[in-house]
Chain A
């Protein structure tokens, strides 16, 4: 099912430098190029390109950073949130660009790397802010009766330190993989129905093509939404480790 690798040319999937890695580099180059171009000639009254750049920056800065982390200490984290959002957004949208047609996070390694980075970030931030007592702060909720505390602490440890990074990464991976699969399924299904179907089955291929196009457009929405959700959760985790109480 997978394409062979690019470098060295034609070796089996997973043994070299492949399409997904190439797409990551393309994404980085695209984002850097766009924002350098948008901020090169800064004017008081912004032109179209500068306006687009400022608007997308402001979106992450205000509606993710400022609203979630809080007015006081959101500023140091804006670069992280901003780069995460646009990196994931462009990589996801590769799934809907004809010929490229491969969202990079549909390989689970991409998602693990991103979520792992965020995982380390919020743990380190919490320890920096509260010292080693951060772990107590993170797993012992205030106002819980002593009798059920052991149970709650175990659940909190599992949900905060084990399940959280897993779902954070797999959410991105699973939605991208599912979107990639469903479009491929629609295409393969239409091919089968139209070319190999018999009798009344054949016209049903038109329906699968229509459904495939619909899913293709729906997929664009999902891709943007997942980039937003990933960044939003990053902000929520950072806010959680900076907060004074559970």
Chain B
């Protein structure tokens, strides 16, 4: 077996980002289900949350390549 352990590490670190994105969208869907007219307000907030959470996974990907 050959390969780089970085990639395994990145796979593990992506779990955090995945849970975060899941939580963001779970909250978004919950909010829209309870109050459908709030969808226009919630949508940008949800995508902002997605972007901020995803930043961690992206930094992880970069470090997996760099280090």
For A236, give its contact among B44, B50, B55, B59 (CB under 8 Å).
B44
In the complex, the answer to whether B61 meets A228 with C-beta atoms within 8 Å is no
In the complex, the answer to whether B55 meets A167 with C-beta atoms within 8 Å is yes
Residues on B with C-beta less than 8 A from A229 are 47, 50-51
For A67, give its contact among B40, B50, B51, B61 (CB under 8 Å).
B40
> CB within 8 Å of B: which of A129-155?
none
Does chain B have a CB within 8 A of A61? no
In the complex, the answer to whether A68 meets B61 with C-beta atoms within 8 Å is no
Residues on B with C-beta less than 8 A from A178 are 61
Interface size on A, residues (CB 8 A): 14
Residues on A with C-beta less than 8 A from B62 are 170, 174
- CB within 8 Å for A174 and B58 given contacts A67-B40, A67-B44, A236-B44: yes
Does chain B have a CB within 8 A of A78? no
Looking at B50, B55, B58, the one whose CB has the most chain A CB atoms below 10 A away is B58
In the complex, the answer to whether B59 meets A167 with C-beta atoms within 8 Å is yes
Q: What separation, in Å, do the CA atoms of A229 and B54 have in the docked complex?
A: 11
Residues on A with C-beta less than 8 A from B54 are 171
Q: Please, which residue of chain A has its CB at the minimum distance from the CB of B43?
A: A63
Which secondary structure characterizes the binding site on chain B?
Answer: helix
Q: Please, which residue of chain B has its CB at the minimum distance from the CB of A171?
A: B58
Q: Please, which residue of chain B has its CB at the minimum distance from the CB of A172?
A: B58
Which secondary structure characterizes the binding site on chain A?
Answer: helix
A208: min CB distance to chain B, Å: 19
In the complex, the answer to whether B50 meets A174 with C-beta atoms within 8 Å is no
For A163, give its contact among B48, B51, B55, B61 (CB under 8 Å).
B55
In the complex, the answer to whether B58 meets A232 with C-beta atoms within 8 Å is no
Q: What separation, in Å, do the CA atoms of A55 and B7 have in the docked complex?
A: 43
Residues on A with C-beta less than 8 A from B50 are 229
In the complex, the answer to whether A232 meets B59 with C-beta atoms within 8 Å is no
B60: min CB distance to chain A, Å: 10
In the complex, the answer to whether B47 meets A171 with C-beta atoms within 8 Å is no
B5: min CB distance to chain A, Å: 19
Residues on B with C-beta less than 8 A from A232 are 44, 47-48, 51
In the complex, the answer to whether B58 meets A167 with C-beta atoms within 8 Å is yes
Q: Please, which residue of chain A has its CB at the minimum distance from the CB of B41?
A: A67
B28: min CB distance to chain A, Å: 14
Residues on B with C-beta less than 8 A from A163 are 55
Q: What separation, in Å, do the CA atoms of A68 and B59 have in the docked complex?
A: 26
Ordered nearest first, which 8 A-B pairs have the shortest CB separation? A167-B55, A170-B58, A174-B58, A174-B61, A232-B47, A171-B58, A229-B51, A233-B51
Q: List 12 A-B contacts (CB under 8 A).
A: A63-B43, A67-B44, A167-B51, A167-B55, A167-B59, A170-B58, A171-B51, A174-B62, A229-B51, A232-B44, A232-B51, A233-B48
